[in-house]
Every structure is written in C-alpha cells, then in structure tokens.
Amino acid sequence: MKVLFFIDTLQTGGAEKSILEIAANLKEFDPIICTLFSDKDDLKKEFAKVKIPVYELGLKKSSKFWIFKGKKAFETLIKTIEPDIIHAHLFKSELVARISNRPKSILLIGAFVNDSYSKERYEAQTFTRNIKLNMVKFIDRILAKKVDYFTSITKTISISNARALGVDINKITTIYRGRSIENYNPVQPMYESKDRFVFLTIARLLKRKGYIELIDAIGELKNTNEDFICMIAGDGADANEIKLYANRKGVSNNIEFLGNRNDISALLQKTHSFIFPSHYEGQGGALVEAMLSAKPIILSDIDVFKEQINEGETGIFFKLKNPIDLAEKMNWMMNNYDSGKEMGLKARSVAMEKFDILKIGDQHDSFYKSVLENFDK
C-alpha cells in the first residue's frame, strides 16, 4: 500500500523534516513524496539517502496560475502513482489536493501542523492582513469538507482548527511529531560563576517566533549579568529587521545569529539552556529536540507548550510577550542551573516516551490501516 505525502517544498522546516522522519519509519506503507513547488529542495538529498522517491510538480511560487497548473499536474501524477492515501500538508498543497479530481478509492487526509487561526495571530497582524487571513480561512473552511480525515500534531491545535473550520473533532487524530532518539545525547555542560552561560533558540527568523521580546529580555538581563550569550539558529523573512533591532538595542555582543544549521544536535550539546519564546506554534519540533537533549527549557506560556511541558517539573514558562518576565526566568536559570538540569533530565524521559520516532512511525502505520478499513469507497 502506498502513501503519497504532498507538501509545498522540501525546504528545511518543521513539517518537511517531520515527513522525512515519518516516511523513513513506516513499516506497512510505501511512502512517496510530491512537492508542489520546485523553488527550494534543501531536504531532497536526505530523502534520497533513505531511498524515498520524490516527485516535483515543478511549479514556481511566482506563477500567477499555480493553483490551476498544480491541479492538472497533480491529477496526472495520481493516475501514474495510484496511491491508496494522499496525506497533504500545508495550505497551498492541501488546497490543490482538495480541488483535484481523484478516484473515489483514494483516501484524502489533511494535516493540522499550525495554529493558523489563533487569537494571538490575529492580535499580532494588521487589519489588512487579518482581512486576507479571513479570506484564506473562508476558503479553507469550504474545502475542508472534501477531506476524509485529518491528523494533528497536538491536541491543542486539533481543537482550535476544528472550531475554526467546522471540522468534526472525531475526524481528527492527534499524532505528535517525533525525532530519532539516537541522534540526541543528554549532554549538560558544566557551568560555574566564571563561565559564560549559553542560551540557544532554534526557529525561523520571524517576529511571531518571539524574537523582539527575546532581544528586549537580553537587554534587561545585561543590566544585572553580562556574562551570557544567546545563540540563534535559523533564517527567515524578518531576519534583517530582527538583526537591526538587536543592533539598536545594543545587545549584539550577547547574541550570535548562526543562520540555518544542520548540526542542531551538536549545538544543543554546547548549550546550557534552550529558549522558545514563540507567540503560537503547531507543536515545535525544536522543543522535542531540546527535550531529548535534556536541556533546561524556558518557554512562552502558550497552550501548545503547556501540553508538552509541566511547569517547574520539565521546564519553566514566562508570560507571553513579556520580556521582563523572560529576563527574570533567564536570570533564574543562570542562578539555579542544577535545578534546571534536573528538569532537563525529566524532560528527556518524557520525550523518549512520547516523541520517539519509531513509536510515531508505528502510530502512523496504525492510523493509515484504521482509516482505510473504515473508508467507504
């Protein structure tokens, strides 16, 4: 039996990396990958390494008629491949999958990987952007009716997306993203008062990832303790704006922008504490990586993170968009590193139980088998 994973591109991102991990660990289904656009294919070589076929529809994101061209090309590919299941990810690919004609024997599964219509997103955007988002939401809601089942990477976003799109919650199955445990070692560097404390953040350089608050918090923390650095791994559309803001705040000596990295595990081993200040997330694959690496973790107090981390037990929270509170929690971590390390070890135990990619692969196998058995063709 064949599962066709359909996604916008193979650029390095949470959804893309997750599909790679899941596809490589399926036992009862043959995975096939299809990308809508050919602009970026950072991970294509990784799929080749594990011998997973990749098809590209070859569209450019700049194309004015990508949706119609995508529909035609995707329908042709479906006839060629004849998959049992199409599992579509991200809005544009899901849109094409929903409007494409397919045999009734092929099951269509959607994927909730973001809290796309969260209150926090609406609050952060301009009035004009919110009008556009409502248009997207309207289209999403109408075409969601064409989807047979959905997966969601957290319970939190399954509820919010079901409410926003009018989807029956019983059609949604939550399966967390996972990682290969063997790739992450629980290394906790020594730290003494004379040492420089190392924080790490891993996320695309977008303002909604909480970077402005993080920079403000670093400025606050410098007033009491300058002997620390925050490494930032990632790149993105707001990179220039974020870097300029760091320069204006005078914190350049305490921040190191690393760009996109493929050595995340090694970076985590050098890190004392991991910070995740996002305004909203689907799950946060970097959080899973930090947990598996036994890092003391500081996070914004959003529901998605609360689903995975217990306050004071496996990590500590700061108030969303509150740089003063974040600075206080960073200072606490520096002064209570031994307690933080204990939390990190507990977080690793939780992650090994919940986010082991071998278990996640098995869960996908079981899910696909179950929905096919119940599918009324």
367 shares a domain with 329: no
192 shares a domain with 109: no
199 shares a domain with 168: no
Number of folded domains that form the chain? 2
Dihedral, CA atoms, 9, 15, 21, 27, nearest 10 degrees? -90
223 shares a domain with 162: no
227 shares a domain with 98: no
Cβ proximity of 213 and 326 under 8 Å: yes
346 shares a domain with 197: yes
Pairing, β 297-300 against β 273-276? parallel
Cβ proximity of 361 and 27 under 8 Å: yes
Range of the domain at 58: 2-178+356-374
Give the separation between CA 235 and CA 204, rounded to whole angstroms.
5
158 shares a domain with 23: yes
Q: What is the pLDDT along the chain (377 residues), one digit of tens a residue?
A: 999 999 999 987 788 989 999 999 999 999 999 999 987 778 999 999 999 999 999 899 888 899 999 999 999 999 999 999 999 999 999 999 999 999 999 999 999 999 999 998 998 889 999 999 999 999 999 999 999 999 999 999 999 999 999 999 999 999 999 999 999 999 999 998 789 999 999 999 999 999 999 999 999 999 998 899 999 999 999 999 999 999 999 999 999 999 989 899 999 999 999 999 999 999 999 999 999 999 999 999 999 999 999 999 999 999 999 999 999 999 999 999 999 999 999 999 999 999 999 999 999 999 999 999 988 65
Enter the pTM of the model.
Answer: 0.90
The closest alpha carbon to 204, from 176, 242, 177, 230, belongs to 242
190 shares a domain with 140: no
CATH of the domain at 136: 3.40.50.2000
Beta strands in 127-217 (DSSP E): 149-152, 172-174, 197-202
Q: In this structure, what DSSP letter does residue 297 have? A: E
138 shares a domain with 18: yes
Burial class (CB in 10 A: 0-12, 13-18, 19+), 194: exposed
332 shares a domain with 191: yes
360 shares a domain with 326: no
166 shares a domain with 240: no
Pairing, β 228-233 against β 316-318? unpaired
Interval 166-212: pLDDT, tens: 999 999 999 999 999 999 999 999 998 789 999 999 999 999 999 99
Residue 121: C-alpha distances to residues 276, 306, 350 (Å):
17, 18, 29
